[in-house]
Structure formats: structure tokens, C-alpha cells
Amino acid sequence: MNLSKYPLKSLRERIEQAENILVTTHVNPDGDAIGASLALVNVFKSLKKKVSVISPNELPDYLTWMKSAGEIINFELKPDIAKSVIKNADLIFYVDFNGIDRLAKAADYFQNSTAYKIVIDHHPNPESMADLTISEPGIGSAAELVFEFVKQIGFSDVLDKDIAECIFTGIMTDTGNFSFSCAYPGVWNNMAELLSYEIDRDRVFSEVYDNYSENRMRLMGYCLNDKMKIIPEINSAVICLTIKEMDRYGFKMGDTEGFVNMPFSISGLKFSVLMLEKDDHVKLSLRSKGSFDVNLLARKHFSGGGHKNAAGGEMPLPIETAEVKMIEILKEYNAELG
């Protein structure tokens, strides 16, 4: 992938001259958000730049092993420190998101900053929220885009095993462990290149996928056995979880990661949604197989967005009402889903 359409030369000068670089990513960060952000952070550190990193909220345990993860400032937990870091930044990178509201409670503070801002993202239809937007929706992960960016801007010399592991994690998680969004040769060439840094692929896999609690496994069983509703006429699956049910299984951030994909092992299934009860809304994870566009669905009905086959959003309703409404909305798409 060629990034020569972006002004990389002047951006390189900006990076070299910056006093305080700040990297941030979207709320409820996943493997790609953290992998891509920390890859960039570690590159800047190796270049001897002063760099900070903010996450709008907590990151899941399965990502805390990555290099510099301990330096991530959780805006929700340490708002005062985060606000002062935002105020002092002169160069800000927005990684893996395409709309300012994805910064949740931190959004206003970032918007008020006068720093030069750069988006590095792979979601379609980026909002205009930065001075420079490097947006490549054809690429499977923001981490792979960061890899290309680092190489093409001329910082390859500092790439090492730790940075390669951050990038690898982003690619692995945003492609569902190489099951989607990776049907193009470039990503496999990049994989081969990353392996040449002698990353410990097996360990990275285990850190991400084999690091959950027994409780999480039981919650998964409960979801599949008791909670998954299949609506055969629209080839759809709906899983709803209440706060009470999550509490029963000692729910921790990240525990429901991947649950929304499980129904797709059922033959012919085209759509799946995971609905999680929060204090004042229901958080949605939407997935599809094939041509049904959940990004459009999320934008139209659920104040959200994402990619064609993976998106998110929310419903400002009690969970029972939200479930009924969800099924009603899905039935409107009978022509596409049926």
C-alpha cells in the first residue's frame, strides 16, 4: 500500500520537531487500538521523542503485556493527569477511530487542544477532526497501517521485536485471528516481515486468547446455552446480557470479546448482535457475514458505526425493550437477511 498521497515528508519534520507527542485511541480499546497505538508510541520512544498515551477508559487484561502498556493513562481513572497531558501536547495522533465521539468523555478536551492532529485509521467515512487524515479503509487493521506508515515515513531503523509484537497483535485481533479482512497479498507480506523480527507468535497468541478466567468461559457457555436467540427467518442471532447476569460471572472488561462471532458457526447465519446492558443504555456489537452492511445499520439506527461486517452502537432503552426493538428493526431488513 502506497502512502505517497499523504505529505509524509513534512509530517516527518513535524514529528522531529515536536516537543510533546500524544497518542490516543477509541473508548473500550481492543487489540488493534492498543497494538497500533503502542507500536507508534514505542517507535517515537526509540526516536528519543517525549510521548504519552491516553485511553478514554480501561483496557482489558489481555493487552497489558505489550511494551509500554503500563504507561497508558486511563482518562476515566486519572482525568486530571490526562487533561494536563492533552493541554501540553503539540502533536496528537488519533489511532483506529473515525469520529470524535469515540473519545467518550475525553472528546471535548482533545477538541479544545490546539496541537497539530493526525488521524491514522482504517474505518470508512472518517469525520473531519484532524489537520491530516491518513485513512485507508481497504486495510484490515490500524496496526498494519501504522506499520506501513513507519516504514514509508522512513523510521524502519527503529523497528524491533517489541514493536513488531504490538503490530502483530493488532493485525491478529482485527482479522479475527486471520479469518476476515485479510484477503489481500499485502497483509501476508507484512506478516512475513513481522515474523523476521523474531516475534514470539505462540506467546502473543496465548497472551491474547488463552488468558481469560474460568468465569469468562462459564459466561460464554451460559450465553450459548441460555441466552442466544436464533431468528431463522432472518438468519440472525441475538444475545442479550443484563448487568445482573454479567455480575453473576464476575464480569471484567474484555470478557465478552469474541462472543458476538460465535453464532456464525451456524450454517447460513448472516447477522449477529451482542447486547450488553449498561447503566443508562444498551451497548451493541454488530456483525455480519456477506453483503449486509452493519456499519450502515449502526449509523442509521444505533448512533454508531464501524466497518461493513463489524460495527457497534447503542440504544438508549431498557434492555428488554431494546431487544424487542432490535428484532423489529432487523425484520425490516428481511429482503437482505431472509
Distance CA 229, CA 226 (A): 8
Residue with Cβ nearer ligand 5GP (60 or 305): 305
Kindly report the CA angle at 40 between 35 and 42, in degrees rounded to 5? 90
Interaction partner, residue 142 (Mn ion, ligand 5GP, none; CB < 5-8 Å by kind): Mn ion
Distance CA 43, CA 28 (A): 23
Under DSSP, the state recorded for 227 is I
What strand order describes the sheet that includes 51-55?
73-74, 51-55, 21-25, 91-95, 116-121, 132-135
Q: Smallest distance from the beta carbon of 169 to Mn ion, in angstroms?
A: 11
- Give backbone dihedrals phi and psi of 11, rounded to 5 degrees, phi first: -65, -40
Q: Smallest distance from the beta carbon of 16 to ligand 5GP, in angstroms?
A: 31
Q: Smallest distance from the beta carbon of 64 to Mn ion, in angstroms?
A: 19
Residue with Cβ nearer ligand 5GP (116 or 209): 209
Question: Restricting to residues 56-95, which ones interact with Mn ion according to CB under 5 A?
Answer: none
Distance CA 10, CA 273 (A): 43
Should residue 257 be labelled a site residue for Mn ion when binding is judged by CB under 5 A?
no
Distance CA 313, CA 83 (A): 26
Q: Which three cell numbers mark 130?
A: 484532524
Q: Smallest distance from the beta carbon of 190 to Mn ion, in angstroms?
A: 15
Interaction partner, residue 136 (ligand 5GP, Mn ion, none; CB < 5-8 Å by kind): none
Interaction partner, residue 45 (ligand 5GP, Mn ion, none; CB < 5-8 Å by kind): none
Contact residues toward ligand 5GP (CB under 6 A) are 26, 28, 30, 99, 102, 123, 285, 304-307, 310-314
Should residue 142 be labelled a site residue for Mn ion when binding is judged by CB under 5 A?
yes
Residue with Cβ nearer ligand 5GP (201 or 299): 299
Should residue 145 be labelled a site residue for Mn ion when binding is judged by CB under 5 A?
no
Distance CA 20, CA 40 (A): 14
Pinpoint the alpha helices (H) of the chain: 8-17, 31-46, 79-88, 107-112, 142-153, 161-174, 185-195, 201-209, 214-222, 243-248, 294-301, 319-331, 334-337
Residue with Cβ nearer ligand 5GP (85 or 103): 103
What strand order describes the sheet that includes 228-231?
228-231, 236-241, 271-277, 282-288, 310-315, 305-306
Should residue 174 be labelled a site residue for Mn ion when binding is judged by CB under 5 A?
yes
How many residues bind Mn ion, per CB under 5 A? 4
Should residue 121 be labelled a site residue for Mn ion when binding is judged by CB under 5 A?
no
Look at residues 330, 149, 213, 178 and name the one whose alpha carbon lies nearest to residue 170. Answer: 178
Interaction partner, residue 285 (Mn ion, ligand 5GP, none; CB < 5-8 Å by kind): ligand 5GP
Should residue 310 be labelled a site residue for Mn ion when binding is judged by CB under 5 A?
no
Residue with Cβ nearer ligand 5GP (170 or 305): 305
**Binding footprint of Mn ion on the chain (CB under 5 A):** 32, 96, 142, 174
